[in-house]
Amino acid sequence: MLNNCSVRRTIPAIATALLLGVALPQAPVLAKEKVKSGGETAPAALEMDYSVSIPSIDAVGSNLGDEVLTEILSGKVAENAGDLATLDATSISVPEIKVNVTSQSNGASKDATLIFKDLLLEDVVDGKAANISLGGIDLAADNATFAFGAMSAADLDIAGILGVYGLVDAAGQTELSTIYTNLVSEGGTLESDEVTCSFGAVSGAEFRARPLKTSFAEMMAIGQAMEDQGDEVDPATMGRFLKMYADVLTAFETSDITFKGFDCNGQDEEGRPMAFSVAGMTMGGMSPGVYPSIAMDGLAIEVEGDGEMSLDNFTFKPMDLSTTIATLESAPELVDEAWLEQNARALIPAMEGLSFAGLDIDIPDPENEGSRIQAKVGEFDLSLASYLNGIPTDIDLSAAQIQAAIPADTGDETFEQLRALGITDIDAGFRFAAAWDQATETVAIEEVSVSGVDLASVVLAGTIANATEAMFSLDMDQSMMAGMALAVRDLDLTVTDAGLSDIILAVVAAEQGADPATLRPVFAGLAQGTVISMMAGAADAAKLGDAINQFVSGNAKTLMIGIKAKSEPGLTMMDFMEAEEDPTSLLGKVNISAEAK
């Protein structure tokens, strides 16, 4: 999100030097205290006033006089938009633009000074500048100072910016056009009483846009109306907002944007030294209807004497907004709460997922004083695809190298059992992967697995039948009924012993004063006999019992069991409900295969 903000604000940031009014209000804001419904008084709104000082302008070959240029740079962009869109100049240089801002809220007054240094536009023809640069930006506020280095861009379409926001006539333009190219920003520093930060460079090859269907003035009016109406937005206002939002989602396109990260040092609320840094971020190219991927590298947080966390990479994958946009565009003029509820699922974007790698945590345990949470995750990935009515029908969730110390004396039964076996650390992983096939109306469970290094792994795969499209219906009752009709066609279970049985037998043998090697065949025989007995003479009983004997005895390290329903569509909900009373009722309805190796 950080990169997206920098991209979307690049035009105002550059244009602030050229068109100061894009970033500043057209007139002083004098917002008054507002009263919410029910008589509750809202906090006093921010009151702001500003003044702009431009000591000199050196305009060479300009078709606009210094007075008009000064007005534009002082904030009167809308009033001079027509002239600005046709600006011609060999060069326009402004050594300094100084903005003094005074804000008041709840009786407190704050001052800030913003200085833009060495603004230069070159080769401006009919509202397009071949080059624009800014020597730097300095901000001095009551408790902080900010210094931003040089920034530059090429092919800045000033008229295009004005057209995007409806400040000049765009002559019916509907296609995207280049607003600027080759953005380069050097970065800067921030210093305050609490923190000191340095920011890396930002760069992007191209930004493209088209005129919005809603003018900038209309946008402000809609936003103000929604703010005034609070929690009860008028249906007409909501309808206008949704149409505007759908338009915005298809109006911009960018190349990849890179940010070289930041490094901050300061103190936490308890006065302890802390450091927070990000090595870099990359936002993929944005295109109409597609929200780009955002990748962050090298996150590190450390609080001296308390804890630390680091993350090698976090990636938010792209989102397809086409269904969201289509739903917004089809919204009626009056959008009430009922419409929003009925279309909530259709408004959900098709997010491709997220992933991270190299997570390392060492922090105090908030639930147990004196204990710490120490864990590592090598890789995590969530991949989502093939959305239907806001639900992904293809899911792949996995994690590997989940390493953690098992805490003592937590009262958690699972933790206590593991520690009783002498297991104080784990290195585990898991995966869940399944996909719906519309043509066959089945869900293929590719893998449901859990594994532990030097312990064991369990892998389940299978097929769910009767998976109709109604499962994903917007009608919740219809979806629930479709879910009740699902049937298990087949399941395959694979268990691999990587050392867990040795640990269990060693503990049991120690308790009984016996040799683990002696106990193995005893337990193997018991397991075999129990299975055969439970299967009540079924044809598959002997083979299954023998496979389990081989596995428990240690002669085989992998046990594979297959279950397949004898009749279509498979084992239904009614079959499983009957099995709750009599588990053996399932035996006559399935074929069971088993192999140990």
Please state the three-class secondary structure of 118-168 as a single string: EEEEEEEECCEEEEEEEEEEEEEECCEEEEECCEEEEEEEHHHHHHHCCCC
Domain annotation covers residue 572: yes
Q: Can you give the pLDDT at residue 11?
A: 35
The mean pLDDT of 274-290, rounded to a whole number, is 95
Contact 492, 562 (CB under 8 A): yes
Q: Which of 28-37, 221-230, 399-408, 497-506 has the lowest mean pLDDT?
A: 28-37
* Listed residue (293, 287, 354, 295) closest to 325, CA to CA: 287
Domain annotation covers residue 485: yes
pLDDT digits (tens, 9 = 90+) for 366-422: 877 777 888 999 999 999 999 999 999 999 999 999 998 887 776 777 778 778 888
User: Per-residue confidence at 16, pLDDT binned at 50, 70, 90?
Assistant: very low
Structure tokens at 496: 């691999």
User: Per-residue confidence at 42, pLDDT binned at 50, 70, 90?
Assistant: very low
If one compares 429 and 588, the residue with the highest pLDDT of the two is: 429
Q: Where is the domain boundary, 236, 266, 296?
A: 266
pLDDT higher than threshold 70 for residue 120: yes
Q: Mean pLDDT, the chain, as a whole number?
A: 88
Contact 431, 460 (CB under 8 A): no
Enclosing domain of residue 14: 2-211+257-266
Domain annotation covers residue 77: yes
Domain annotation covers residue 388: no
Domain annotation covers residue 97: yes
pLDDT digits (tens, 9 = 90+) for 191-211: 998 899 999 999 999 999 999
Torsion over CA: 263, 266, 268, 272 (sign): positive
pLDDT digits (tens, 9 = 90+) for 129-178: 999 999 999 999 888 999 999 999 999 999 999 999 898 988 888 999 99
pLDDT higher than threshold 70 for residue 306: yes
Q: Can you give the pLDDT at residue 21?
A: 32
Q: Can you give the pLDDT at residue 7?
A: 34
Does the global pTM surpass 0.75? yes
Domain annotation covers residue 469: yes
pLDDT digits (tens, 9 = 90+) for 543-571: 898 999 999 999 999 999 999 999 999 99
Buried b (16+ CB within 10 A) or exposed e, 400-424: bbbbeeebeeeeeeeeeebbeeebe
Residue 323, strand partner residues: none
The mean pLDDT of 291-310, rounded to a whole number, is 95
Contact 291, 349 (CB under 8 A): yes
User: Per-residue confidence at 443, pLDDT binned at 50, 70, 90?
Assistant: very high
If one compares 564 and 104, the residue with the highest pLDDT of the two is: 564
User: Per-residue confidence at 43, pLDDT binned at 50, 70, 90?
Assistant: very low
Number of domains in the chain: 2
Distance separating alpha carbons of residues 514 and 350, to the nearest angstrom: 59
**Locate tokens 């920034």: which residue?**
151
Distance separating alpha carbons of residues 427 and 267, to the nearest angstrom: 34
Among 110-119, 427-436, 474-483, 588-597, the range with the most confident prediction by mean pLDDT is 427-436
pLDDT-above-90 percentage for the chain: 65
Domain annotation covers residue 310: no
Q: Can you give the pLDDT at residue 537?
A: 59
Among 27-36, 106-115, 323-332, the range with the most confident prediction by mean pLDDT is 323-332
pLDDT-above-70 percentage for the chain: 91
The mean pLDDT of 535-543, rounded to a whole number, is 75
Contact 24, 18 (CB under 8 A): no
Structure tokens at 526: 């018991």
**Locate tokens 């390493």: which residue?**
403
User: Per-residue confidence at 448, pLDDT binned at 50, 70, 90?
Assistant: very high
Q: Can you give the pLDDT at residue 26?
A: 34
pLDDT higher than threshold 70 for residue 536: no
User: Would you state the torsion angle of the CA atoms of residues 264, 268, 273, 275, taken in this order, to the nearest 10 degrees?
Assistant: -30
Distance separating alpha carbons of residues 535 and 552, to the nearest angstrom: 18
Q: Can you give the pLDDT at residue 46?
A: 57
pLDDT digits (tens, 9 = 90+) for 233-258: 999 999 999 999 999 999 999 999 99
Residue 275, strand partner residues: 265, 302
* Listed residue (470, 397, 413, 399) closest to 438, CA to CA: 470
pLDDT higher than threshold 60 for residue 41: no
Q: Can you give the pLDDT at residue 48?
A: 74
pLDDT higher than threshold 80 for residue 107: no
Rounded to 5°, angle at Cα 515 from 511 and 520: 100
